[in-house]
């Protein structure tokens, strides 16, 4: 077995993307990445790798011969395994390094490297929040228009992480019954649509009113979620997860056992998981449309290219989940009451139509009898 390279403290402070000039090697690397969040994650991984071996910059890294690079990657994977890094963490590291070196024409034996991943363990962090959990969390942030709106937004739309860094007011659209459509990752290959409930819309409008009161002028190009300290920039994914963790930790919500810094209920994804569970537990909702709203691949591979339901069709399916997505008890009861009233109205209309048909039939029968009498 090759020598395990111990971790060595870097001679300089940890470098960020801003510390190193844009070199050709990193420009090529970035040209293959479409998502801003993926770019940040992969850059972080690459910098950790570079610092581990005390390599000055990216171009210096690719100047090393490929055989030596192979050994470095292998040793780094072994180092991560010695630190009990999870399968997922090591997988992300390998994906990041593979892309960087491949884009710079450095050939490694990635089949061999992939076989060095640690054993897959039972996944943690795959449980959803309950609706009661969200009520408790919302009570904790009742005085914050931002966090009240953000929690309602994520839980009622099931948006993917990273949404806040690209979402502008113009990406929201009006829908029936006080709901809104949400265009996520607008104008990118990953663009997709989801929706937010009338409950979330009310919270969002209160947040916008709060920002206007503070003197901010909102326009279609304004970010949907920002911070009071820097309204010109959108809220980052790290800021959302970091602050939300602090908020949830102050509540009685039990996120389960924590192993290797992972809880049974992930801090942000737990809301998306709840959304997914609600949609797919409803037998009245078309499963393929539910997958589209989640931005998942549909069950039949070919359908991913040809299956393009309209926004209206998707919303019709989404509406079926609203009673379960709504968090506030009063709002939930109001929606259920409106639903029952519509059903009663529909039944009354049907009854009137049946009565009209019966009356029409009676008149026809009367006319037929009169006609038969004349003929006889």
Helix or strand or coil: residue 234? strand
Give which of 155, 136, 244 is closest to 235, Cα–Cα: 244
Domain presence at residue 150: yes
pLDDT recorded at residue 28: 94
Domain presence at residue 1: no
Domain presence at residue 286: yes
62 and 107 share one domain: yes
Low-confidence ranges of the chain (pLDDT < 50): 1-18, 302
Contacts of 367 (CB under 8 A, 6+ apart): none
pLDDT recorded at residue 123: 59
Please identify, among 56, 81, 114, the residue that sits at the C-terminal boundary of a domain: 114
Element (H, E) at 319: helix 311-319
365 and 301 share one domain: no
Number of H helices and E strands in the chain, helices first, is 16, 3
The number of residues in the chain equals 376
160 and 301 share one domain: yes
Give which of 222, 215, 247 is closest to 143, Cα–Cα: 247
Q: How wide is the angle at C-alpha 321 spanned by C-alphas 134 and 35, nearest 5°?
A: 70
178 and 244 share one domain: yes
From CA 171, how far away is CA 191, in angstroms rounded?
11
Domain presence at residue 81: yes
pLDDT recorded at residue 250: 95
Between the alpha carbon of residue 272 and those of residues 142, 155, 268, 278, the distances in Å are 21, 6, 7, 10
- Which tokens in the block code for residue 134? 């969200």
204 and 286 share one domain: yes
Between the alpha carbon of residue 356 and those of residues 144, 162, 347, 361, the distances in Å are 55, 56, 14, 9
Summarize pLDDT for 237-262 with one digit per residue, the tens.
Answer: 989 999 999 999 999 999 988 776 77
Instruction: List 180's β-bridge partners, or say none.
Output: 174, 196
Q: How wide is the angle at C-alpha 335 spanned by C-alphas 203 and 347, nearest 5°?
A: 155
Contacts of 261 (CB under 8 A, 6+ apart): none
Q: Which CATH number goes with the domain that contains 294?
A: 1.10.443.10
Instruction: List 172's β-bridge partners, or say none.
Output: 182
201 and 304 share one domain: yes
Give which of 270, 268, 36 is closest to 167, Cα–Cα: 36
Q: Which CATH number goes with the domain that contains 52?
A: 1.10.150
- Which tokens in the block code for residue 45? 């991984």
220 and 366 share one domain: no
pLDDT recorded at residue 263: 87
Please identify, among 87, 114, 141, the residue that sits at the C-terminal boundary of a domain: 114
pLDDT recorded at residue 304: 53
Reading across the β-sheet that carries 172-174, which strands appear in turn? 172-174, 180-184, 192-196
> Got the DSSP string for 263-305?
-SS-TTHHHHHHHHHHHHH-TTS-HHHHHHHHTPPPSSTTHHH
Domain presence at residue 2: no
pLDDT recorded at residue 335: 76
Domain presence at residue 10: no
Number of domains in the chain: 3
229 and 320 share one domain: yes
Kindly give the interhelix angle for 287-294 and 311-319, rounded to the nearest 10 degrees.
Answer: 100
28 and 144 share one domain: no
204-242 CB burial, b ≥16 within 10 A, e <16 = beebbebbeeeeeeeeeebbbbbeeeebeebbbbeebee
Separation of CA 337 from chain center: 30
Domain presence at residue 19: no
201 and 94 share one domain: no
190 and 151 share one domain: yes
Residue 184 gets which letter from DSSP?
E
256 and 361 share one domain: no
In terms of residue numbers, what domain contains 60? 24-114
Domain presence at residue 348: yes
């Amino acid at each position: 077995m090759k020598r395990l390279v111990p971790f060595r403290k870097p001679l300089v402070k940890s470098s960020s993307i801003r510390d190193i000039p844009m070199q050709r090697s990193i420009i090529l690397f970035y040209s293959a990445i479409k998502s801003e969040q993926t770019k940040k994650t992969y850059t972080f991984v690459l910098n950790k790798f570079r610092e581990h071996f005390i390599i000055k910059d990216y171009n210096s890294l690719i100047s090393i011969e490929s055989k030596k690079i192979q050994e470095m990657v292998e040793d780094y994977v072994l180092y991560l395994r010695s630190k009990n890094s999870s399968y997922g963490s090591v997988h992300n590291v390998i994906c990041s390094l593979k892309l960087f070196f491949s884009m710079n024409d450095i050939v490694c034996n990635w089949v061999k490297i992939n076989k060095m991943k640690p054993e897959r363990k039972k996944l943690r962090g795959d449980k959803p929040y309950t609706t009661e959990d969200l009520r408790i969390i919302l009570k904790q942030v009742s005085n914050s228009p931002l966090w009240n709106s953000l929690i309602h937004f994520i839980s009622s739309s099931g948006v993917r992480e990273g949404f806040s860094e690209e979402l502008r007011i113009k990406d929201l659209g009006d829908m029936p019954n006080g709901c809104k459509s949400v265009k996520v990752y607008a104008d990118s290959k990953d663009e997709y649509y989801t929706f937010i409930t009338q409950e979330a819309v009310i919270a969002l409008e209160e947040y916008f009113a709060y920002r206007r009161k503070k003197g901010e002028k909102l326009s279609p190009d304004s970010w949907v979620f920002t911070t009071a300290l820097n309204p010109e920039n959108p809220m980052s994914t790290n800021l959302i997860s970091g602050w939300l963790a602090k908020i949830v930790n102050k509540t009685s919500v039990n996120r389960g056992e924590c192993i290797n810094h992972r809880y049974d209920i992930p801090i942000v994804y737990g809301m998306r998981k709840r959304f997914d569970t609600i949609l797919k537990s409803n037998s009245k909702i078309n499963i393929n449309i539910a997958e589209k709203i989640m931005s998942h691949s549909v069950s039949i591979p070919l359908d991913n290219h040809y299956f393009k339901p309209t926004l209206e069709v998707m919303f019709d399916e989404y509406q079926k989940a609203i009673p379960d997505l709504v968090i506030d008890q009063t709002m939930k009861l109001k929606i259920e009451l409106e639903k029952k009233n519509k059903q009663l109205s529909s039944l009354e209309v049907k009854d009137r139509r049946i009565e009209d048909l019966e009356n029409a039939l009676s008149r026809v029968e009367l006319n037929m009898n009169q006609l038969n009498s004349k003929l006889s």
